[in-house]
Structure formats: structure tokens, C-alpha cells
């Protein structure tokens, strides 16, 4: 601009002592207030308070903010076998296993009382019960592990109960084994920050911002639940509010903070880190509902302000701003900004996905109970007929 429009300029650095005390943002604003400079090249967000002592140029950028957060690490593969089902599913499965084991044991105990075998008299009640529980537990375990084990069950109700259990177990086991391989082989990352709500709920990351900046003031003075939670976390961690750009870069590259900024500056920061480490260490979130214009600060009442804004507008309209920005990014950061598609991620099976399997199990248990009741009624009817015949013959019932 100086060459094209024939003017000269001189840089006046911000006073280091003032910057260390008030922060680089406020120190830069003070240069305009004290009329030490005509233009502040700090990217300044216009506010009503600042408009009282300065003017603003044509916007250098108008973008929605995004969060720049550390890339999430991989989850431990130690609990890979648990991933195919969510915890409520595992709870229901455990309850169903115990229920089926209890149903098998009670049914067998009832049948043994009605039709005792000669071998039953060789054991006590608790011995027989423990043997039956052990046998049925092994039967259920072998079914769940696809091993298979025979069961001698002449009663129809017992067969129906076991058959439906096998049907439901087959569906669940195949569903689990089909997902297990993906859960063990696919890389699964920990949950990452992708919104203001995620950051407010995070116990690991805190937002970092420049002291006296609009973003810092917004969070620290917020009344809404989400923004207030972020501001409170920043108060608990005073290092998150930095005074100098050097401290800000240290915070960002320490991988302990989330940093909100526009995408163009975010690409610049990621490019610096990529050249330094050779790795893509940051994740860029979706846009958050905060949009602000960035401008240059101008001395209030300066007669060249309008001309300077017009020339900035000219640079934007000709595309020179974007051209210069891309040329400054010597390394491509595209590979660091690529997002994984959610569809490619293996998701845990939800309880609603297994409604049909549990519905089949419920129907089968209903049929088994109905058959059990019918057999009990039939058993008592059959038992009464010999007693009636004996009474009619002898005239009395046996004691």
C-alpha cells in the first residue's frame, strides 16, 4: 500500500512494560488514545466503548469463530470387548442371564418334586439345587460363547424356554461378534471439544484468551449458563488469560487450552506448529455462534482514515488479501484440517437396536410360563384320577 499510494510509515512497537502490565491489546489501544500512532495494526474488534476514543478501518476479516483444540488421543484398547454394546445393554443382558438361570433352576426343581428320579434321593436338597444351578450356568455360558451344550429336558415348557433363550442368545451373540472385530481393530479416539457446550462441560481443557480482549471480557462477564461456566473455569486458571502474544502462543502450543479465533489465523498457527513439530496436533471444531469483524484501529478524527479504509476495501475486492495469506502458509495445512466422517466411525449398539431380540425373549418366556402353568394343571388332574379310583375301591384315601 505504501508503494502504490506513495506514503511512508514507521513502526512504533508497543511499550514492553505497559504490555506486561495491561496486556498487548490494551497497550496497543493506549497508543491510539495517547495519539502516539495513526494506525494500530492489531486486529481490533469494534465495540461501543472503543468507538469513543478511536475509529475503525474497513474490516480485515469477518468470520465466525472456531475452536482450535488439541487432537484427542486414542482410547485404551483394554476395554475393546465392552465397546460393541452400551452399558445399559450390558446391564439388561446380565439381568436376562440371571433371570433365565433362575427360571431354569425353578422349573427343574418343580419337575423333580413332581416326578422324582431314584438318584434324587442320594443328595440333599441344597446339593441337588447347587448341582442344577451349576449345570444350567454352564449351559448358558456355553451358549453365549457359541460352544453349544446338550440338555435333557422332556417337559415342553422347559423346551420352549430353552429354545427361545437359544434364539435370543444367537441373535445377541452374532450381533456382538460381528461388531467386536471392528471395535478391536478400528482406532477409536476420545471425545473432543466441538462446541461451547462441550468446552463448558470439559474437565480437561480451559479456554485461553488475551487480557482485555472482547473474547475474554465476553466470557468473564457472561450471564448465560454455558459462557459463565467457561468464564469461571478461566478464573480458576489465571494462566489462561495471557498478557503478551508470546504467552498466548505458549498456552496454545502447550495442548492444555482451547483457543477461539477465525479460521485464517487458525491456519497460520497450525502452520507454525506443523513446521516446528511435523505433526498435526490440533483439531478444528465447527463454527461456534460468535461472529466478529476484525479491523485496524485508527486515530480518532484523522483526515486520512476514510482513504485508508477505501484502500483496504480495494485490497479485499481484488483478492490480494487472500493471495498474501495463502503465500504466507508455506506448508499446506489441509491435511491437518480434514475431518473424519462420522459414518466411518464404528458406533456402539444402542438398547433400541436390540428391541427385537428382547421382544422375542419376552414372547418366549410368556409361552414358557403358559406351558408351565398348563403342565402344572395337567399334573394335578392326572394325580387326582388314581386317588378317586382308589377311594371308590376301598372307601377311603390312603394316609
In a domain, 49, yes or no: no
376 and 332 within one domain: no
What is the number of other CB atoms lying within 10 angstroms of the CB of residue 323? 11
- As for how many domains the chain has, the answer is 2
In a domain, 147, yes or no: yes
Q: Which cell goes with 287?
A: 463454527
Looking at 344, 359, 376, the residue that finishes a domain is: 344
274 and 212 within one domain: yes
| Helix ranges restricted to H, the chain | 2-5, 16-22, 24-33, 87-114, 125-144, 156-185, 196-201, 214-220, 225-236, 245-253, 263-277, 305-317, 320-328, 334-337, 355-394
276 and 197 within one domain: yes
Burial label for 272, CB within 10 Å (0-12, 13-18, 19+), is: middle
What is the number of other CB atoms lying within 10 angstroms of the CB of residue 141? 13
In a domain, 5, yes or no: no
323 and 210 within one domain: yes
258 and 175 within one domain: no
CATH number of the domain within which 247 lies: 3.40.190.10
Cα–Cα nearest to 188, from 345, 344, 348:
345
* pTM score of the predicted model: 0.60
In a domain, 26, yes or no: no
260 and 135 within one domain: no
What is the number of other CB atoms lying within 10 angstroms of the CB of residue 358? 17
Q: Which cell goes with 365?
A: 418366556
In a domain, 36, yes or no: no
238 and 176 within one domain: no
Domain around 131: 81-184+349-394
162 and 119 within one domain: yes
In a domain, 300, yes or no: yes
292 and 242 within one domain: yes
Contact 68, 207 (CB under 8 A): no
371 and 328 within one domain: no
Local structure of 55: helix, strand or coil: strand
Local structure of 352: helix, strand or coil: helix
In a domain, 18, yes or no: no
217 and 334 within one domain: yes
In a domain, 126, yes or no: yes
Q: Would you give per-residue pLDDT tens digits along the chain (399 residues)?
A: 777 767 788 888 888 888 888 888 888 888 888 888 888 888 888 888 888 988 998 888 788 889 999 988 777 666 667 777 788 888 888 888 888 888 877 777 776 666 655 555 445 556 666 777 777 777 777 777 767 666 666 666 677 777 777 777 777 777 777 676 666 666 677 778 888 999 999 888 999 998 888 888 889 998 889 999 999 999 999 999 998 888 999 999 999 999 998 887 888 888 888 888 888 899 888 888 888 888 888 888 888 888 888 888 888 888 887 777 777 665 556 677 766 554 444 556 666 656 656 776 777 778 778 877 887 887 777 776 665 555 555 555 445
222 and 160 within one domain: no
> Between the CA of residue 21 and those of 212, 221, 244, 255, what are the distances in Å?
11, 21, 9, 25
Amino acid at each position: 500500500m505504501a508503494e502504490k499510494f506513495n506514503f511512508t510509515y514507521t513502526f512504533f512497537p508497543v511499550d514492553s512494560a505497559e504490555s506486561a502490565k495491561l496486556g498487548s491489546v490494551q497497550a496497543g489501544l493506549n497508543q491510539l488514545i495517547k495519539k502516539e500512532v495513526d494506525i494500530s495494526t492489531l486486529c481490533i474488534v469494534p465495540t461501543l466503548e472503543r468507538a469513543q476514543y478511536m475509529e475503525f478501518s474497513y474490516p480485515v476479516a469477518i468470520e465466525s469463530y472456531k475452536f482450535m483444540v488439541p487432537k484427542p488421543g486414542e482410547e485404551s484398547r483394554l476395554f475393546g470387548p465392552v465397546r460393541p454394546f452400551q452399558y445399559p445393554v450390558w446391564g439388561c443382558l446380565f439381568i436376562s442371564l440371571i433371570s433365565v438361570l433362575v427360571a431354569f433352576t425353578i422349573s427343574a426343581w418343580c419337575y423333580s418334586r413332581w416326578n422324582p428320579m431314584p438318584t434324587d434321593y442320594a443328595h440333599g436338597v441344597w446339593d441337588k439345587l447347587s448341582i442344577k444351578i451349576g449345570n444350567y450356568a454352564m449351559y448358558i455360558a456355553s451358549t453365549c460363547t457359541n460352544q453349544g451344550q446338550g440338555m435333557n429336558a422332556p417337559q415342553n415348557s422347559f423346551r420352549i424356554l430353552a429354545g427361545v433363550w437359544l434364539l435370543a442368545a444367537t441373535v445377541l451373540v452374532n450381533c456382538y461378534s460381528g461388531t467386536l472385530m471392528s471395535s478391536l481393530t478400528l482406532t477409536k479416539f476420545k471425545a473432543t471439544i466441538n462446541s461451547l457446550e462441550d468446552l463448558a462441560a470439559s474437565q480437561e481443557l480451559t479456554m485461553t484468551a488475551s487480557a482485555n480482549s472482547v473474547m475474554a471480557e465476553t466470557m468473564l462477564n457472561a450471564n448465560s449458563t454455558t459462557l459463565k461456566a467457561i468464564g469461571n473455569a478461566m478464573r480458576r486458571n489465571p494462566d489462561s488469560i495471557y498478557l503478551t502474544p508470546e504467552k498466548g502462543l505458549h498456552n496454545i502450543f502447550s495442548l492444555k487450552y482451547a483457543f477461539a479465533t477465525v479460521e485464517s489465523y487458525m491456519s497460520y498457527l497450525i502452520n507454525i506448529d506443523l513446521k516446528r513439530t511435523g505433526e498435526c496436533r490440533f483439531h478444528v471444531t465447527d463454527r461456534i455462534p460468535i461472529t466478529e469483524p476484525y479491523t485496524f484501529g485508527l486515530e480518532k478524527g484523522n483526515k486520512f482514515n476514510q482513504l485508508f479504509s477505501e484502500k483496504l476495501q480495494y485490497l479485499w475486492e481484488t483478492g490480494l488479501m487472500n493471495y498474501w495469506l495463502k503465500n504466507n502458509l508455506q506448508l499446506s495445512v489441509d491435511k491437518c484440517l480434514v475431518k473424519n466422517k462420522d459414518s466411518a466411525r464404528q458406533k456402539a449398539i444402542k438398547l433400541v437396536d436390540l428391541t427385537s431380540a428382547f421382544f422375542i425373549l419376552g414372547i418366549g418366556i410368556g409361552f414358557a410360563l403358559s406351558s408351565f402353568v398348563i403342565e402344572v394343571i395337567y399334573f394335578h388332574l392326572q394325580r387326582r384320577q388314581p386317588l378317586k379310583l382308589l377311594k371308590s375301591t376301598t372307601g377311603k384315601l390312603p394316609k
